[in-house]
Structure 1
Amino acid sequence: MARARLSRTPRDDPPAAGPGATEVDWDGLRARMRGPLLRPGDPAFDDARKLFNPLNDDHVPAAVAQCASVEDVREGVLAAANRVPLAARSGGHSYVGYSAPDGGLVLDLRRLSAVTVPSDGTATVGAGATLRDVYTGLSQAGRALPGGSCFTVGIAGVTLGGGIGVLQRKFGLTCDHLVSADVVTADGRTLTATASATPDLFWALRGGGGGNFAVVTRFTFATAPAPALTIFSLAFPAGKVTKVLTAWQPWITAAPRELWANLNISSGSTPGCRVSGCFVGPSGACNPLLNDLVARCGVSPTTRKVEDRSYFDAMRFFSGTPGRQAFVASSRVLSAPATNPGRVVDLLTGSTGVSLILDALGGAVADVGVQQTAFPHRTAFATAQIYAGATTASEAVVTRRVGKVVTGLADLGIGGGYVNYIDPALPDWAACYYGPNLARLRCVAHDYDPDRVFDFAQSLWRA
């Protein structure tokens, strides 16, 4: 189910370039750009083309445009449109490598990464900024924005897919804080998308997924004062996952919105688990909530870590291991707590190397209507990421392991999916990712990209 190797399997191929179409004038594009245009054979090309996941190293674009200005982005769009595949790259974390199209043009936005926080508390963020860039710039100004965890993920992908993260129950999704987005459209226009000026496009950019509609070059966000936070992690002994999951579900449902927690179940002959999370407030107020979870479980954790942290240091705690990582992953969405936790645990029993990560929604996420933004999972209980490390040699085996869990969750009535964990093999992926918002999203894609300039294997043109 998870991570089919890239091929144009969903729907049909895009139409061929129209009459009179020509090959891309790479020399001309290079001459018009401020930033470098790298082609195969150039010394820096091989590093520039690679994404976060080494399993995507077999993707070889025709060129990487390291855009140094909005005009560079515009020139790249106009040069490549309907001639070769075209994709923007921010952090390069597309799970299956859509931001490095074979034989296409990569618009590398990482030079457009400035973060500015004026006195009104808004933040302007270049679309090439990573979460490390964003959290650093905001914390220096005493401000905060809810977002993802991995520091090398790009703010663009996070926002355009919705933006789940460790502060979401208190502050909502990243896209809920979007004020405006500067974009380059498929026909080379530059415009600022806002709720009043371009309501359909602005709506679609908040959860409609990266790679669709237009290339965003800069975001403006509303931010909040940076709070003091508590981070925590409780590891439980192997063999107790069913008890912990049974207790964790009503515990996090009833918890105040200041508390966010996930449950990470690790596969094995006897699966184990840990509960990690973040509390907006001091550890003295967080510890009684954690004591309640332990009491509900009836299981003492083998380790318990609870620390007061600043906003930036708390985000760094969740940032994971730096450097590129090879993995296979997919997702599901729990519309409600699992009714049979033991059967969920059974899906991980006897396997190796697979994690099922349940991230609690609720709180401020549900304050926004299902169709108020393009992100459709507002009333869901939690997202589920199915994740496993892999190598090129083990990819096929690992893919089957991940797919078995994905299918097993569906058999338990757990459907849906999160577009930022995109998976070309997820059955009925468009409905899973977009739900009741799919029809409107298709219309926005048609209106802003009628010639399918931004088409790819799971674009809205294929939905």
Structure 2
Amino acid sequence: MTIDRRQFLAALGAGGAMVVAGARGAAAREGHGRPPTVDAWPARARASDLPPDWQALRRRLDGRLLLPDDQGYGVARLGYNELYDDQFPAAVARCTSPADVQACLEVARGHGVPIAARSGGHSYLGYSVPGGGLVMDLRSMARVQVRPDGTAVVGAGARLIEVYAALAQAGRLLPAGSCPTVGVSGLTLGGGIGVLTRKYGLTCDRLAEAQVVTADSSLLTASPGSEPDLYWALRGGGGGNFGVVCEFTFRTEPAPGLTVFSLAFPAGSAASVVGAWQEWMQGAPFELWSTCQISGGEPPSCRIVGCYVGTESDLNPLLDELFAAAGVQPSSRSVQPKDYLDAMKYMAGCAHDTIEQCHLISEGGVLPRASFVAVSRMLGPTPLDAGRVADLMAGQTGVDLLLDSLGGAVAQLAPDATAFPHRSSLASAQIYASTTLAGQHAATATVDAIRDELAALGAEGAYVNYIDASLPDWGRAYYGANLDRLKAVSQQYDPDGVFAFPQSVMCG
């Protein structure tokens, strides 16, 4: 059965063996939904109009370079979002090592073509498959090694489900996202909001060091004691800005027992539930994380799904507090204890599938790609007017507003401790709509309008992993007061704009 991110929470509530095809990523676009052309890229990225010597690169990669006429190119070029299937990169390089990434940059930089690294391919706007550019496909760099000290070395091409499976086998966990086919790279570099965030922090907060190839083909280690400015920027500064991360080392934690839950509420109760949910999460223990989904309609409907680090008996009183505050009981309620891996599979919507099935069809799994538009805001430290939030979704059939709780461990760091600035935010807000190419313009206009109304209610920031080219003052929305320092780091490590794109840090 095909299911997209918009249907994710409904699938959990139904209890079926469904799979989720929604994703998180970073990209950029111009206007309403179409990606920028090469001519629209920042001028510093176009030092020459001479084409790269693709045959020389093919030789250096032992044939692992696909050009448009090569067998396999038609599949290799595709990203996750089907809306951008009309983008045709000039070449796709299947990199297996940092040396391959270095070779790609040595051959391609300075020739006027966009250069992008691709980990999971989940760019919301298809920016990891630039038309006319070079895609450095890192999928083969997917090793996950858990060391005796509990640190995990993870290749840049690893998918989240692979990371979770390897960690679970070692009895460890890493806080990260819910979608199984998302690449660890994009998630981490933009921050990494996920289902264990409140207890264990963002994914980027767990980054101990990163192996990075910079624009001049240097291979560097970024850590607190080595390239500290680069290390700071990689923790929330967004993918594609400062270099190509080839390997991550994360600090992990012992994996405890977890309890997952799914709650559906009666029609007409969205305002009451959203208001109570915001207050509930503000005072919740760090062990509790949840997401509140308001689905557009007449009236809007509401569902809450979450994960608790602890037992069912400890969670149930907390849920009862929510129901009392909302003044409404759920129409359906599911509470289930699970181990770490099963909990992550449940949150991914593939609870009844094997790890092998929790991959895209193109990689031997059962998960389809998706066709969607999505934008974001970040809530402030105080709750929004719940009645007005519910009103925004009235009549918006096919559109979802997903509120992912923050606070807890996220708020324990200062806004400038890492590049991720939204430390005081109550929650992130994603506005998501499945659509076709024909309906893309209308869907984009709808999600943009809801985004702007949320800003008027006080949700003014935005999450760079839901990158959005029509977002007003996007540099400050993504990075806040950290933008100027990020620009300085970008200038230090990529002075010629090799990795520049229309919403790269240097353009903010």
Identify whether the pair has TM-score above 0.5, normalized to the shorter chain: yes
2:319 to 267, 287, 290: 290
* Structure 1 residues 77-88: aligned runs within 5 Å: 77-83=105-111, 84-88=113-117
Does residue 411 of structure 1 match 2:440?
no
Question: Per the alignment, in what secondary structure is the counterpart of residue 420 of structure 1?
Answer: coil
Q: Which residue is equivalent to 2:302?
A: 273
Shift of residue 224, structure 1, vs aligned partner? 0.2
2: CA distance between counterparts of 1:250 and 1:37? 53
Shift of residue 318, structure 1, vs aligned partner? 1.4
2: CA distance between counterparts of 1:243 and 1:9? 48
2: CA distance between counterparts of 1:420 and 1:320? 21
Contact 1:127 1:216 in 2 (8 A): yes
Q: Which residue is equivalent to 2:347?
A: 318
Shift of residue 73, structure 1, vs aligned partner? 0.8
Q: Say how many residue pairs are matched.
A: 462
Distance of aligned partners of 1:33 and 1:12 in 2 relative to their CA distance in 1, 3 Å threshold: closer
Deviations 1:362-403 (A, max 9, x none): 000011110010000001111000001011111111111111
Amino acid at match of 2:494: D
Does residue 328 of structure 1 match 2:356?
no
Instruction: Give the CA RMSD over aligned residues.
Output: 1.6
Contact 1:204 1:373 in 2 (8 A): yes
Contact 2:264 2:304 in 1 (8 A): yes
Q: Which residue is equivalent to 1:223?
A: 252
Q: Which residue is equivalent to 2:72?
A: 44
2:403 to 351, 355, 358: 358
Contact 1:35 1:66 in 2 (8 A): no
- Higher mean displacement: 293-302 or 8-17: 8-17
1:305 to 311, 323, 334: 334
Distance of aligned partners of 1:104 and 1:12 in 2 relative to their CA distance in 1, 3 Å threshold: closer
2: CA distance between counterparts of 1:105 and 1:9? 12
1:135 to 160, 164, 173: 164
Amino acid at match of 1:355: D
Q: Which residue is equivalent to 2:291?
A: 262
* Structure 1 residues 9-408: aligned runs within 5 Å: 13-15=42-44, 17-18=46-47, 22-34=50-62, 36-83=64-111, 84-320=113-349, 322-408=367-453
Identity percentage over the alignment?
Answer: 53
Shift of residue 340, structure 1, vs aligned partner? 1.7
Distance of aligned partners of 1:249 and 1:435 in 2 relative to their CA distance in 1, 3 Å threshold: same
Question: Per the alignment, in what secondary structure is the counterpart of residue 507 of structure 2?
Answer: coil
Shift of residue 438, structure 1, vs aligned partner? 0.1
- Higher mean displacement: 167-176 or 313-322: 313-322
2: CA distance between counterparts of 1:438 and 1:188? 25
Deviations 1:304-344 (A, max 9, x none): 01000110111111114732111100000001333421111
- Higher mean displacement: 31-40 or 433-442: 31-40
**Structure 2 unpaired stretches of 5+:** 1-29, 351-366
2: CA distance between counterparts of 1:420 and 1:426? 13
Deviations 1:157-215 (A, max 9, x none): 01100101010100000011101100111001111111111110000000000001000
Deviations 1:252-299 (A, max 9, x none): 111110001111000012000001100001111111111111111111
Does residue 460 of structure 1 match 2:488?
no
Question: Per the alignment, in what secondary structure is the counterpart of residue 246 of structure 2?
Answer: strand
Contact 1:2 1:426 in 2 (8 A): no
**Structure 1 unpaired stretches of 5+:** none
Distance of aligned partners of 1:74 and 1:139 in 2 relative to their CA distance in 1, 3 Å threshold: same
User: Structure 1-normalised TM-score?
Assistant: 0.97
2: CA distance between counterparts of 1:11 and 1:443? 23
Shift of residue 9, structure 1, vs aligned partner? 11
User: Structure 2-normalised TM-score?
Assistant: 0.89
Deviations 1:42-97 (A, max 9, x none): 12001111111100111110000010121111101111112111000000011001
Contact 1:34 1:67 in 2 (8 A): no
Deviations 1:209-240 (A, max 9, x none): 00010000000001000111000010001110
- Higher mean displacement: 182-191 or 330-339: 330-339
Shift of residue 7, structure 1, vs aligned partner? 2.2
